Chain A
Amino acid sequence: METVKEKKKGTDSKKTIKISGAEAIIHCLLAEGVETMYGYPGGAIMPVYDELYKFQDKLTHILTRHEQGATHAAQGYARVSGRVGVAIATSGPGATNLVTGLADAQIDSTPMVCITGQVTRQLLGTDAFQETDIIGISTPVTKWNYQITEASEIPEVMAKAFYIAKSGRPGPVLIDITKNAQIDAFDFSYEKCTAVRSYKPVPKPKMSAVQAAADLINSAKKPFIVWGQGVILGKAEQELKSLVEKSGIPAAWTIMGASALDTSHPLNVGMVGMHGNYGPNVLTNECDLLIAIGMRFDDRVTGNLDFYAKQAKVIHFEIDPAEINKNVHADVAVLGNSKETLGLLLPLVNENKHDAWHNIFKEKYKIEFDTIIKNDIHPTKEGLTMGEVIEEINLASNNKAVIVSDVGQHQMIACRYAKFSQSKSNITSGGLGTMGFALPAAIGAKMGAMDREVVAIIGDGGYQMTIQELGVIFQHKVPVKIVVLNNEHLGMVRQWQELFFEKRYASTVMVNPDFVKIAEGYSIEAKRISERKDLKSTIQEMMGSKEPYFLEVKVEQEDNVFPMIPSGASVSDVRLK
């Protein structure tokens, strides 16, 4: 562990105090500014919980009802606040229950530190009670992980964990701490980590690349921006807006990038990807310059790579060198933090307008509106649609709510139709597609942004994967709004079965319990609606409530999400029905 280089110079000799490893962990968390953490106790982590008890006035621990819930709550907290989320669990099953959340945070670049207890040093490798090799298990789904077997390692490793989790392209870090290291006393002192010899979090931008990008932008006739979460993680929202406005370039977003630019901005042309907007998808194959900012060309964004933007030059603004040329060849790669690189680009970009090109997006939107959007958000048929529910939430929240969505049809509808007026407002499981994400993530999101309204949009399937976290909402009176869009199916799988498996609905029909009664069992105010006449007033009542609120909306059972780029098809082959 000689890799941490301290840059602090001229400080006084370090103050040390003799404390247990467990107490040291608390001091490390406090020194890193942690106020809230999520977890579940158990044998191998008990010394730390004993200290949490003593420090409960300084550090809030939220007992989730399952360790997976702790990770998603930490993720929700991190995504809405930009801070590091913290989850803690015991060894064995406690640790393995973190794996889904770690994988989710890894693929969606969410800063998170997970702490696990481990059997005592002498028992490692003996198949002791609740021993599991969580370092081995979590290696592929963590940015970094480390097993502490001696108390004296704690300050340096914890400092390194927080530094790695939040720097560069953020990600999850897991620290496994054997029980002896929690119990043993040592001389504690803490210094934050500022550098690791073998780790370069942010590449230094090359001015030649920025200039090359500007030259391409200034000479392009049909340029198109697609941005992703890198804009939010890089805090480059203002730079993106300035670039779009100065250059007049139409800009679209991936679901992870949603909310970085106001939905209502005239040059925000919508969402790319499998269920994204028609114009941004088909025009990807008509632009002459594709400017990708902080996105990674996921297959759900690109469709078939052999037919993706082949006619266009590509500029890729990216913090992670491993993303360059991974899926799509970049003619110009601009490495660095998006705030810095876009900041360097701005003065080199000419003021411009691309009205004729922008008008083509508007024409495509008109086609999509007439064939799909109109029927989704202003339906004339009897049954309720998911889209009109989202639209009512937009109206009742004045586009200001944080929308936390789960995974499936409702997620795509929420991402398509939710309107955002500030950044960090769309919290969803993008890369991993983790059903069960939304309910615990909404709890974390609310705690990370108490001044904001948080609405969880969840399907009847995913809701039941982490439904036990209603216990947290009940215990702590977390005022989240939970909207279950109940179509009595695993809707997205059912849609694929309908379209690609000749309507063989294998295990996608859901036999559901009485969700209202369950919420009421947790003393949460709960309503169920199934008719349009009740929709507006109930959503207004929900948004007006200062308490937790559960709303089940019975929606059409066999609605499909369109547009759709079938798996493996080109972005040009968008199906409108």
Chain B
Amino acid sequence: MENKWFTISVYSENNVGLLNRISGIFLKRHINIESLNVSKSEIDDVSKFTIVAHTTEKWVHNIVGQIEKQIEVIKAYYHTDDETIYQESALFKIASGLLFDERQIQNIIKDNNAQIVTVSRDFFVIAKSGRRNEIDEMHDQLKPYGIMQFVRSGRISVTKDEMKISAILKEF
């Protein structure tokens, strides 16, 4: 079975220690977590983990089964990239002088549909949301000018099909 990118979505209670329990399931199987995001979900008082892993379908099936078995997990799903709408966000901190000295930077911002979120005397910050490769491309374009700081978030995603989580919760 070939390795593929999978997005695992976990709906859970918001309790201390659950992140450790979930990440431990990957650790036990020696599978790396490529990105991880925790936020609130569409349901009140229910948290959502979005975890990306590069592995086989057999292992992702196994992992989702183990995650779902955890007491405080309500439901877990896995999806391939084709089945989801997903993106990541990145921030670039650049020296302010470059904005005026290097006119090309303004074109990079425009061409990449990025936004300037703040400008100060010493630096300015560009925000860019999109696919991983789009952010990587912009990073490559800005790199020659000097990036003071760079950070990229974990993937967030929603599925094209409905996740029947609300119906599950009504059963309880």
Contact = CB atoms under 8 A, between A and B. Distances in A.
B74 A322 contact: no
B65 A198 contact: no
Contacts of B65: 321-324, 326
Interface string B10-51: 001100110011001001100000000000000001000000
B172 A5 contact: yes
B73 interface: yes
Nearest to B18: A139
B27 to A, nearest CB: 8
A322 B69 contact: yes
Contacts, number: 51
Interface of B: 12-13, 16-17, 20-21, 24, 27-28, 45, 61-62, 65-66, 68-69, 71-74, 169, 172
A322 B66 contact: yes
B172 A164 contact: no
B165 to A, nearest CB: 11
Given A136-B20, A144-B71, A144-B72, 20 more contacts: A5-B172, A135-B17, A139-B17, A140-B24, A140-B28, A145-B17, A146-B17, A164-B71, A196-B71, A197-B169, A197-B172, A198-B13, A198-B72, A198-B74, A320-B69, A321-B69, A322-B62, A322-B65, A324-B65, A326-B62
A327 to B, nearest CB: 9
A326 B74 CA distance: 20
Interface string A183-208: 00000000000011111000000000
Nearest to A322: B65
Interface of A: 2-3, 5, 135-136, 139-140, 143-147, 164, 195-199, 320-326
Nearest to A326: B62
B71 to A, nearest CB: 5
Which of B17, B28, B61 gathers most chain A CB within 10 Å? B17
Which of B13, B16, B28 gathers most chain A CB within 10 Å? B13
Contacts of A164: 71
Given A140-B28, A322-B65, A326-B65, A199 B71 contact: yes
A9 B72 CA distance: 25
Contacts of A199: 71-72
Contacts of A143: 71
Nearest to B168: A200
Which of B27, B65, B66, B69 gathers most chain A CB within 10 Å? B69
A147 B16 CA distance: 9
Contact of A198 (B12, B16, B66): B12
Nearest to B25: A140
Contacts of A324: 65
A135 B21 CA distance: 10
B68 A321 contact: yes
Contacts of B28: 140
Nearest to A1: B15
Nearest to B64: A322
A3 B13 contact: yes
B82 to A, nearest CB: 22
Given A5-B172, A139-B24, A198 B73 contact: yes
